[in-house]
Chains A and B, each alone.
Chain A
Amino acid sequence: MKMNQTWKKQDIDFKPGTQITGKWHKKQYKIKRKLGKGAIGTVYLCESGGKLAALKISDKGTSMTVEVNVLKSLQQVQGSRLGPYLLDVDDWVSPYGVTYSFYVMEYLKGESMSLFIKSHGNVWVGVFLLQLLEDLEKLHQSGWVFGDLKLDNLMVLSSPTRVRWVDVGGTTQKGRAIKEYTEFYDRGYWGLGTRKAEPSYDLFALVMVFLNIYYPRRFERVPQSEKLLYKKIDNVKPLEPYRNPLKKAIAGKYQSSAEMKRDVVKILYQVQNKSRIKKKSNQKVSNIPFYIEIGGISVIALGYYLISLLF
């Protein structure tokens, strides 16, 4: 069969400076360096017309076509940039006559979420949680489910600081079976649900993203995984304010990201209020020594005044 032959193609390894010309659209790309390698294809940083872009190339033509389909439909989700912007789709024929598929997308340069939180503080946990819930809501409303939501597929871009999805290859239409998953993030692996593409599948994975930040080495399943996951959430201090919604997402109790977002927003509001109340009461406490001081000064002043009256 044709597929089996394609599998025997040689792995591609471009050296910096290699020039690639598309078979169909004839656009030229100059390879700068390798950015990463995944199960399907390798991603390179490239330059075309003086602009930088990311180029993904692979011998698995069908999987690449599926990914392009997803990127295209994400582009149609209005008012937001859910995935990287797709610039070109084409084939490249190697000097040996072998055809490889490639596509070119916007180059997103950023920092990993766990590094960012480590260097900028836990206050960003709430921010990223909300940003991700917002994006998921938009995605779900347009009939898609992210599927392979994991730390490696997220990146924090600067000015303004925003978490973005970099790899949307696992995105699946609602109601179908999840295409791609990573065990640690997959509720099926933990025995806590099906692999049907529905919003609650993504929300489970979202919780695991935040667990993975604080358990970089991950951990394995046990017969009663729900309790284990609850315990793991409880053991992370920075996640404390969000415990309840995180646990509800693990249990699959949210039907939509909007529901979960509402709970998280409520908590963030309460946390802010609490810290404001704390500050106010702090002010009251600090007022007392102020009054004592004023009182003390006036007593001494009065003393001097009385003494001055005597002489």
Chain B
Amino acid sequence: MKKGTLKQILLITDGCSNKGEDPAGVAALAYQQGITVNVIGILDDDQTEDAEGLREVEDIALSGGGVSQIVYRETLSQTVQMVTRQAMTQTIQGFVNKELKQILGSNQSLEDVEPEKRGEIMEVVEDLGETSDLEVVVLVDTSASMHEKLPTVKESLIDLSISLNSRIGKNRFCIFSFPGKRKDIQKVLDWSPQLNSISEVFPKLTSGGITPTGPALREAMYQFGKKSLLRSFRNENESDVEETGY
């Protein structure tokens, strides 16, 4: 059975966008094209959880079909890997639920199946999550307030690649920061299966004043298209996932 590729954008930010189009709108657009958008909001040690700028975090993930989480700096590593895995399960579960609806009728979902059967279905979901290929565009906010958080972000991304590379399925990552020098985003690392090489690149990041989250998301979305013709083949495989859902 050929497994499809899951596509994710992982946005790491600490506050509100202040330039360009609405990020939640762009996230919805990405979701329409089979890309889930996950958001991690980083709090300062003295901030409370309902800090105003971080409301946007939840909105973006909701319309991007992804997962959002707001964390303090120390717990970032585990959150990054948890959010990514959770979003994968969620996406696959979405496929499986769609299939279930076709079989059981439109009002049925996993919750309406008796617990014994549910176990078997979840086994399939887990199995797909383990073996599917995964592509992640990591989008790091490098506006001024993020500056001292960047070393932690770097560590947690290396940690993410340890986790994901322990899976059976293949992974590819690329990293962008925003705002870029002249453009909305700037490439930090091109598509690569490992993130170990980011140690050298990361300290060179400069921080700017504006936060164009929306335009940056749009650019990130296009990165999935830039990988030559291969993508269109992958897309076909992806519909494969839906059919071979279980």
Contact = CB atoms under 8 A, between A and B. Distances in A.
Interface in B190-207: none
Given A62-B122, A65-B119, A72-B119, A175 B93 contact: no
B65 interface: yes
A120 interface: no
Interface residues of A, number: 28
Interface stretch (A188-196, A208-216, A272-280, A295-303): A188-196
Contacts of A196: 166
B239 interface: no
Contact of B89 (A62, A175, A176): A62
Contact of A188 (B94, B121, B122, B163): B163
Interface residues of B, number: 31
A195 B78 CA distance: 13
B90 interface: yes
Interface string A171-201: 0000111100001000011000011110000
Nearest to B91: A1
Contact of A176 (B90, B115, B119, B167): B167
Interface in A97-116: 99, 101
Nearest to B116: A89
Given A62-B93, A194-B166, A24 B62 contact: no
B115 A177 contact: no
Q: Which 4 A-B pairs have the closest CB atoms?
A: A195-B166, A177-B166, A177-B167, A65-B122
A69 B126 CA distance: 11
A58 to B, nearest CB: 13
A4 B67 CA distance: 8
A2 B89 contact: no
Interface stretch (B18-26, B106-114, B219-227): B106-114
A65 B118 CA distance: 7
A69 B90 contact: no
A241 to B, nearest CB: 33
B162 interface: yes
Interface in B82-101: 89-90, 93-94, 97
Given A1-B90, A4-B62, A176-B168, A183 B163 contact: no
B94 A178 contact: no
A3 interface: yes
9 contacts: A1-B65, A2-B94, A2-B109, A61-B118, A62-B122, A65-B122, A66-B126, A69-B123, A177-B164
Contacts of A72: 119
B111 A91 contact: yes
A62 B166 contact: no
Contacts of A24: 114-115
A150 B121 CA distance: 29
B244 interface: no
B194 to A, nearest CB: 12
Interface string B145-175: 0000000000000010011111110000000
A68 interface: yes
A1 B94 contact: yes
Contacts of A61: 110-111, 118
Given A89-B115, A176-B167, A196-B166, A62 B110 contact: yes
